[in-house]
A and B are shown apart, each in its own frame.
Chain A
Amino acid sequence: GIQVEQSPPDLILQEGANSTLRCNFSDSVNNLQWFHQNPWGQLINLFYIPSGTKQNGRLSATTVATERYSLLYISSSQTTDSGVYFCAVERGGSYIPTFGRGTSLIVHP
């Protein structure tokens, strides 16, 4: 099956810093989503971005499908950004996303 690799696995920031999270995938995909899991376990969909760039407040994402990677940018990080960020990709047919192992982010005040 398709492989999804996220980097870095862990990230520690001071409040106000910027960061870039990366998601590499091993084959062409039809869909790609970014999720944030808060410390209580709730997974929230951030972006649905099979290609191109999207922005939502301090967060933005870019997917370069031809080169098989996606980037999630977090600017002016806040303590509430802490949690785990997952990338999930889906190939044609099943519509079942495959999740990466995530990037664990801790933002200190």
Chain B
Amino acid sequence: KAGVTQTPRYLIKTRGQQVTLSCSPISGHRSVSWYQQTPGQGLQFLFEYFSETQRNKGNFPGRFSGRQFSNSRSEMNVSTLELGDSALYLCASSLEHAANGYTFGSGTRLTVV
């Protein structure tokens, strides 16, 4: 079966712009989590969506938001981009929650200039 698909793979944006990233989970997976990975901070949890509802949220400013659609696909949005938002953004899906086992996508590498 198809894995977790993230689009786009690479993105370059300018400070102040906004960006939307997409994640299509494995068929049947209802939980989608987002992580930000940077060399300085490592893997940090952004938020988790389950059945179109945000179930958990990490410690990120309100500029970071997300949503989940009825088909479990998820999007995350970052508004008013800052240089520090440059990172690899990873999406992980699981059946019900991470304890079932995460499957990660290949990530979207965002560069803010």
Roughly how many angstroms separate A98 CA and B102 CA in the complex, as a whole number? 13
Which listed residue (A31, A33, A43, A97) contacts B90, Cβ 8 A? A43
State which residues 69-97 of A face B: CB under 8 Å.
86, 88, 90, 94-97
B66 interfacial contact with A, CB 8 Å: no
Contacts of B97 in A (CB 8 A): 95
A15-39 to B contact mask, C-beta < 8 Å, 1/0: 0000000000000001101010000
Are B102 and A41 touching (Cβ within 8 A)? no
B contacts with A: majority SS? strand
A56 interfacial contact with B, CB 8 Å: no
Q: How large is the interface on B (under 10, 10 to 19, 20 to 34, 35 or more residues)?
A: 20 to 34
A-B pair count, CB < 8 Å, reads: 52
Which listed residue (A31, A33, A99) contacts B43, Cβ 8 A? A99
CB-CB nearest in chain B for A38: B106
CB-CB nearest in chain A for B47: A96
Are B42 and A102 touching (Cβ within 8 A)? yes
A12 interfacial contact with B, CB 8 Å: no
- Contacts A86-B43, A94-B56; A33 near B102 (Cβ below 8 A): yes
Question: Interface residue count for A (Cβ, 8 Å)?
Answer: 23
Which listed residue (B33, B58, B101, B104) contacts A48, Cβ 8 A? B101
Shortest CB distance A26–B (Å) = 16
Contacts of A64 in B (CB 8 A): none
Are A95 and B106 touching (Cβ within 8 A)? no
Roughly how many angstroms separate A41 CA and B91 CA in the complex, as a whole number? 12
B75-113 to A contact mask, C-beta < 8 Å, 1/0: 000000000000010101000011101111011010000
Contacts of A94 in B (CB 8 A): 56
Known: A40-B106, A48-B101, A99-B35. 16 other contacts (CB 8 A): A30-B99, A31-B99, A33-B98, A33-B101, A35-B102, A41-B90, A41-B109, A42-B104, A43-B102, A44-B104, A45-B101, A86-B43, A95-B56, A95-B97, A99-B42, A101-B42
Interface residues of A (CB under 8 A from B): 30-31, 33, 35, 40-45, 48, 86, 88, 90, 94-102
